[in-house]
Structure 1
Amino acid sequence: MDYSHVRGVDPEIADALEGEEDRQRNTLAMIASENHVSEAVLQAQGSALTNKYAEGYPGSRYYAGCEYADEVEELAIERAKELWGAEHVNVQPHSGTQANMGVYLAVLDPGDKILSLELSHGGHLSHGHPANFTGQTYEVEQYHVDPDTGYIDYDALAEQAEEFDPDIIVSGYSAYPRVVEWERIQDVAESVDAYHLADIAHITGLVAAGVHPSPVGIADFVTGSTHKTIRAGRGGIIMTTEEHADDVDKAIFPGAQGGPLMHNVAGKAVGFKEALEPEFEEYAERTVANAKTLAETFEEAGIEVVSGGTDNHLVLADLRPSHPDTTGKDVEAALEEAGIVLNANTVPGETRSAFNPSGIRAGTPGLTTRGFDEAAVREVGELIVRVVDNYDDEETIESVAERVQELCDEHPLYE
C-alpha cells in the first residue's frame, strides 16, 4: 500500500505502518477475533469521511453538510437489515463492547442484575467482568459450561436464573466453540421476566451466511462486531425490534457516544455489501470446515479440544492433559516466533492465572480469507502441534517458520 504521504510527514509512523503490513503478509493470523478486510473496505475506512462530524442520525443531524454521511449510514443500515433480517439496526457503535453498553443503558438502571457466562468459560469482559464497566455498574452473576463436556448446561442456567432473578441474560461468547441454542436461553429469560441480549461479536458473519443459527427475531437485542467473521469496517452493531429502537438509539447517541466514526461506518457498508454476495456464504462454510479440520488435527495429536470439537470458527485447546507443564503463553510466544499468531486463553476449570493460562485459542477466519482449504489448514495444525511439543526448541521453531513463510507466499495477502 502507498504510505508516501505519511512518510513525507512522519517517517516513524510510515515505518510502523509498513512494518505492520509486512507482518500481516508474512505471518498467519489465527487470533479468532481477527480477519483481513478487502482493499475496498480499507479504502473506505481511510476516506475523507474521517473529517466529517455527523452527530445524530440520518435526516436528523446536529451539523450541516451531512448529505453523504446520511447516504453512507442509510446504506449500511439497509444492508445490515438484509443480511440479518433485523427490524431496526444501529451501525454507530465504535465496538462490540460499546454496542453492549448501548443495550445496557437502554434498558437497565445501575444496580440491576446481569446473568452472563464467566470469562474463563468463554464469556466476554463486557458481559460483567469486575474490571469492566458492567461489573462496576451492575450486579452480576455468571453461569458456566459443564466442565466435563465443555457445553453450556442450559438446565443449570435455568435454575440459576430462577434463583438470581436477573434483569437481563447475556448469551453469545468469545471462546465458546459450539452452536448456541438461542431459543432455550430466550425461554429462560421469559420465565424470569428478563431481557435477552445475544452478543454475536465473533459469529456475525457465520450468522449472516446461515451457517450458524440466528438469534435475530428471538432475542430482544442482538449485538456484534463488524470486523471479525463479517470482514467489514471495524466497529459494532445493535439489532433490535421497533419496540426498543428509540431507547437503543438514544443510548448510543447521546448516551454513550458523540459523533459516529463515519469512515468506519463506510467500511461497514462496503463489507456488508460484500457479504451479500453468494461467495460470502462459501467463505463462511469453508471457515467452519477449516476450524473442524483444525480441531481434528489437534485431537489426533493428543491435544485435548474443549467440548471435543467445534461448530464455528474457533478451536479452544486445553494443554493440561497432554502437556501439563506447558502454559498457553509458552506456546503463544513460540508460535509467534514461528510466524503463527494466536492467543493464550483460559479454559473451563482453569487452574492458572488469566495472564498465563492453560489453553490456546485458534481461529480460521483469516486463513480462510487468504484461501486456505482444509488440506492447508491441516498442515498448519500439524505445524502448531510441532511447536506445542517443542516450544523451547529453536531448531523446531526455525523449521516451522520456514514452512510458514512458504505458506504465506503460496496464499498472498493484498497482492
Structure 2
Amino acid sequence: METEKILSSIAAFDPQLYNYFQDELQKQKYALSLMPEENYTSPLSAYLEGSILSNTSMTHHDEEAPAGLESITVSRVNKLYGSEHASIRTSNIAAASRVVFYSLLKKGDTVLSLDNRKKDHCNSESLQFNFVKFSIDPHEQRIKLDQVEKLANEHKPKIIIFSPVNYPRIVDYKHLSDIAKSVGAYMWFDICQNAGLVAAKEIPSPVPYADVVTFSTHDSLQGPQGCVILCRKKMAKSIDNTVITTGHFALKKNILAALAIVFKEAATEKYGQYCHQVILNAKSLQKGLEEEGLEILCGGTDTNLVLLNLTKLQMSCNKACSALRLAGIMTKPTVLTTAEDKITFDILRLSSLILTTRGLKEAEMYTIGHMIGIVLKNHNNPEKLDEIRQDITDIAIQYPLFSDEWLAAKAILNPVYSGGNLSLPHELAAERKKAVLKKILGFIKK
C-alpha cells in the first residue's frame, strides 16, 4: 500500500494518533536537530523493520544455518569491525551493559570508568560495584592517560571503561589497553555515536585493543533500535549465555533484517562519504560558534561531537537548551564533570550526525554555529527568537530527513520523510534559504 493511502487510512480510523504523527513530522521537518543520541533511519532499514518480517520471530532454540538471518547479520558485523565475536540480541545500551557486567564481574568489584559511565546501568542488588572515576583535566581539557594509569595502579580495577559520550577527541587506545593489562583488568570501549566513524575508518578503531566493545545501532549507523556487543572469542560463550539468561532469547526477524541491511550499507562508499562529511560538518559548526565568541571544550573535535561551554555566558545548560528550542534548534544539555570534583562545566553536546543525514554541508553548519551564538546572546528577546525560528524553518524546509545523496541503492520505496515529499516548491525554498544565509552573513559582519 502506498504511503499516502496508509496515512489516509490512519487519519480516518484514528484521528488522534494521526494528528500526533503529523505534529511529530512537522517538528522533525521544520526544526534542526543537533541531538547526539538520535538519527534518521536508513530508508531500506525502515522498510524492512515495517515489513512482513515483523510477523515472525526466532529464539535461541531455533536452528540457525550459516545462511540464516542471525548468522548473516553477525557475519556482517564481524567483517565490518574486524571483531572475533558479536552478539546482536540486546535492544539497548543499558541492557548490553548489564550483560557485560554480569559476564565479567562479581559484586563489589572495582570499575574504573570515564565520568562514571555505566554506573547508572547498575541498578540491582547483584550489580553493585565500586566505581572510580577518571575524567578530563579541567585546565587542559584533555584526558591525561598518566592520571588514568595512576588511578589503575592505586585501585586495581577489574575492568576499565572508556565511553566518550562527552569527549570529542581521539585517545591512544593501545595505551589504555596496556594500562588495563598491567593491572589485570578487562578493557571495555563503548564507542556510542562513534560506531559509524569507526566502521568507515574515519577515526581509529579500538577493536584490536579491546576485550569488549559496545555500541547502539540507531544513531550513527542509521539503523533500528538495537545494540551490539563485540568481544574476544574466549569470552564469547560467557557473553552469549548471559544474553540468554538476562531475557534476550527472542528476536523479531524484521529487526534482524533491518540490522543486516545497515551493516551492509555501512561498508559502502556512500556511507564512507557520509561519515567524512559528518566530521567536516562538526568542524564547520565549531568554526561558526567560535566566531561568535563562544568557547569550545577540549580544543575542538575529531568526531561528530562539539562541546559548547556555557561558562563565560553564565548560563545554565537547561536555559540555553530552552532558548534554542524556541528558535527551532534541538540540543542536548549536560553538566560535564571533570577530574576535579569541584569543577564542572555547563555545556551543550552538539552533534553533526542528524543534519549530515539530512544533507547539510559545511556552509550551512557554519551558519548554524553563528545562529546558535545569536540565540544565546538574545535568549531574553522573544522577538529575536521568533525571527531566528523563521530563519531556521527556511533552512530546514530545504532538506529531507534522509538525503538521497547517501542512499546506497537508488531504486527504493520512498519513506514519508523522503526528499520527494517536501511541501514547498524547491525553487521557492531555495530563494528563502539564500535570503536567510544573506541575513546571517549580515549579522556576522556587524
Residue 362 of structure 1 corresponds to 350
Question: What is the match of residue 427 of structure 2?
Answer: none
**Cα distance in 2, alignment partners of residues 244 and 101 from structure 1:** 15
Q: Quick one: structure 1 residues 351 and 331, their matched pair in 2 at CA, closer, same or farther if it must change by over 3 Å?
A: farther
Task: Rate the CA distance shift 1:132–1:262 in 2: closer, same or farther, 3 A.
Answer: farther
What CA deviation, in whole Å up to 9, does each residue of 1:348-392 have, x standing for no partner?
4599999xx721111000111111111110011111111111112
Secondary structure of 2:272 counterpart: helix
Q: In the alignment, what sits opposite 1:116?
A: 113
Per the normalisation by structure 2, the TM-score is 0.84
Match of 1:46 among 50, 54, 58: 50
Question: Any conservation in 2 of the 1:114–1:166 contact (CA below 8 Å)?
Answer: yes
Q: Cα offset for 1:4?
A: 4.2
The one-letter code matched in structure 1 to 2:58 is: A
Aligned to 1:97: 94
In the TM superposition, residue 146 of structure 1 has moved relative to its aligned partner by: 0.7
Superposed CA deviations along residues 150-193 of structure 1, whole A, max 9, x for unmatched, are 21111000010111111111012211111132111100100000
Asked if 1:56 corresponds to 2:47, the answer is no
Instruction: Tell me which amino acid in the other structure corresponds to 2:356.
Output: T
| In structure 2, C-alpha distance between the alignment counterparts of 1:102 and 1:134, rounded to whole Å | 15
- Tell me, in whole angstroms, the C-alpha distance in 2 between the residues paired with 1:376 and 1:134: 49
Does structure 2 retain, via aligned residues, the 8 Å contact 1:116–1:142?
Answer: yes
What code does the residue aligned with 1:24 have? Answer: Q
The question of whether the paired residues in 1 share the 8 Å contact of 2:98 and 2:121 is answered with no
Residues 320/263 of structure 1: CA separation in 2 closer, same or farther (3 Å cut) = same
**Partner residue, 2:262:** 271
The reply to whether residue 75 of structure 1 matches residue 72 of structure 2 is: yes
Q: Which residue, out of 306, 310, 315, partners 1:319?
A: 310
Q: Which residue of 2 aligns with 1:186?
A: 177
**What is the distance in 1 between the residues matched to 2:192 and 2:176?**
17
Contact 1:316 1:347 in 2 (8 A): no
| Whole-Å separation in 2 of the counterparts to 1:241 and 1:398 | 53
Amino acid at match of 2:300: G
The Cα shift of 1:403 comes to 1.2
**How much has 1:132 moved relative to structure 2?**
4.4
Match for 2:318 among 315, 325, 329? Answer: 329
Deviates most, 256-265 or 2-11: 2-11
Give the counterpart letter for 1:340 in structure 2.
I
CA distance in 2, matches of 1:351, 1:105: 29
Match of 1:64 in 2: none
Identity %: 28
**Aligned residue pairs: how many?**
398
> 3-state SS of the aligned residue for 2:99?
helix
Shift of 1:131: 7.3
Partner of 2:429: none
Asked if the contact 2:85/2:236 (under 8 Å) is kept, the reply is yes
Q: Which residue of 1 aligns with 2:278?
A: 287
Query: Who is 2:27 aligned against?
Result: 23
The answer to whether the Cα contact below 8 Å between 1:32 and 1:365 also exists between their aligned partners in 2 is yes
For residues 358 and 20 of structure 2, what CA distance do their matches in structure 1 show?
23
> Could you tell me which residue of structure 2 aligns to residue 226 of structure 1?
217
Q: 1:57 to 1:320 in 2, by over 3 A?
A: farther
The answer to whether the 8 Å contact 2:152/2:183 transfers is yes
Q: Distance in 1 between matches of 2:379 and 2:13?
A: 42
Counterpart for residue 384 of structure 1: 372
Q: Return closer, same or farther for 1:50/1:130 CA change in 2, 3 Å cut-off.
A: closer
1:283: Cα distance to partner? Answer: 0.7
Q: 1:134 to 1:78 in 2, by over 3 A?
A: farther
Correspondence for 2:15: 11
- Written as runs of structure 1 = structure 2, the 5 A alignment for 1:146-161 is 146-161=137-152
Instruction: Tell me the CA shift for residue 320 of structure 1.
Output: 0.8
Contact 2:99 2:243 in 1 (8 A): yes
Relative to structure 1, is the Cα distance of residues 257 and 212 closer, same or farther in structure 2, using a 3 angstrom cutoff? same
Mark the CA change 1:238 to 1:134 in structure 2 (over 3 Å): closer, same or farther: farther
In structure 2, the partner of 1:300 is 291
SS in 1 for 2:349: strand
Distance, in Å, in 2 between the alignment partners of 1:152 and 1:198 is 15
CA contact (8 A) 1:145 1:152 kept: yes
1:31 is paired with a residue whose SS is coil
> How far 1:130 moved relative to its partner?
8.1
Are the equivalent residues in 1 in contact too, given 2:138–2:343 (CA < 8 A)? no
Aligned residue for 2:58, secondary structure, equals coil
Please give the alpha-carbon distance, in whole angstroms, between the structure 2 residues aligned to 1:103 and 1:4: 45
Deviations 1:28-74 (A, max 9, x none): 121011111122111112223333332217635xxxxxx89x73322
Aligned residues: CA RMSD: 2.4
Whether the aligned pair in 1 keeps the contact of 2:80 and 2:263 (CA below 8 Å) is: yes
